[in-house]
């Protein structure tokens, strides 16, 4: 039994927003996760869907595992480095803008093996 892993790094969305999407697919089969993410109306859904598809392709290509046997064992969104921008406000004040990024990691496992 293999742990098939894929990573998405420096996604320009906050980890908090990505977690709303990845919580929907945790524990589901790979095919079910791909179908579900196609219809989720969130900006994070498309990159997460591509990540799941990439992990499935890794499993099929590198380990010869059928996509029907795979399920999402673990998926996490962690904070990546934040880009700090500046905007100047009234009365000479400084207003920082934080552009948050995230790293998403997925682990697929084979069911029943």
> Which domains does the chain show, CATH number per domain?
3-110 (3.90.470.10)
What mean pLDDT is reported for the chain? Answer: 94
pLDDT for 94-104, tens place per residue?
A: 999 999 999 99
pLDDT at 113 over 70: no
Label residues 34-68 b or e (16+ Cβ within 10 Å = b).
Answer: bebbeebeeebbebbbebbbebbebbeeeeebeee
Confidence of residue 9 (pLDDT cuts 50, 70, 90): very high
| pTM flag (> 0.85) | yes
């Amino acid at each position: 039994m293999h742990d098939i892993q894929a990573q998405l790094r420096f996604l320009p969305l906050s980890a908090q927003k990505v977690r709303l999407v990845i919580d929907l697919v945790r524990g589901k089969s790979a095919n079910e996760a791909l179908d579900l993410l196609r219809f989720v109306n969130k900006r994070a859904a498309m990159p997460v869907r591509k990540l799941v598809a990439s992990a499935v392709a890794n499993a099929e290509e590198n380990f010869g595992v059928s996509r029907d046997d795979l399920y999402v064992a673990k998926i996490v969104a962690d904070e990546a480095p934040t880009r700090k921008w500046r905007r100047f406000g009234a009365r000479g004040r400084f207003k920082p803008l934080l552009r948050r990024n995230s790293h998403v990691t997925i682990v697929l496992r084979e069911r029943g093996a």
